[in-house]
Amino acid sequence: MERLRSSPLHANISTALDKHLESIHVVQARRKDEIVNASSRQQHGPPRCQDERVVLALAAALRALCLATRKVRTVLWCAFQMTLPK
């Protein structure tokens, strides 16, 4: 979009994209933690209190990803509107 405008876009656009990418990485890390925790639980017996913390951390990461996705969609729509010819 910057190439279409021949000028840089607003700094908030790149910030929102960076936060969205960061949220994706956090969700991936929490999901890996959940998988590791589930596999170790099968080997060591009954579920522990830590299982709930891992699941709650994943839920919080998903919520943050949802919010970041909404913001990035709005920001990209705005950027698209700015690139359209007048």
Q: Is residue 58 part of a domain?
A: yes
Neighbours of 9 (CB within 10 A): 16
Structurally, the chain folds into a number of domains equal to 1
Q: Is residue 2 part of a domain?
A: no
For 8-63, the pLDDT digits (tens) are 788 889 899 999 999 999 999 999 998 888 777 666 556 555 678 898 999 999 99
C-beta separation of 28 from 77 below 8 A: no
Q: How many residues does the chain have?
A: 86
Q: Could you report how far apart the first and last alpha carbons of the chain are, in Å?
A: 15
pLDDT of residue 11: 87
- What does the alpha-carbon distance between residue 27 and residue 20 come to, in Å, rounded to a whole number? 11
Q: Is residue 61 part of a domain?
A: yes
Q: Is residue 1 part of a domain?
A: no
DSSP symbol at 6: T
Q: Is residue 71 part of a domain?
A: yes
Residue span of the structural domain in which 69 resides: 8-83
pLDDT of residue 86: 76
Residue closest to 18 by CA, chosen among 79, 60, 72: 72
pTM over 0.85: no
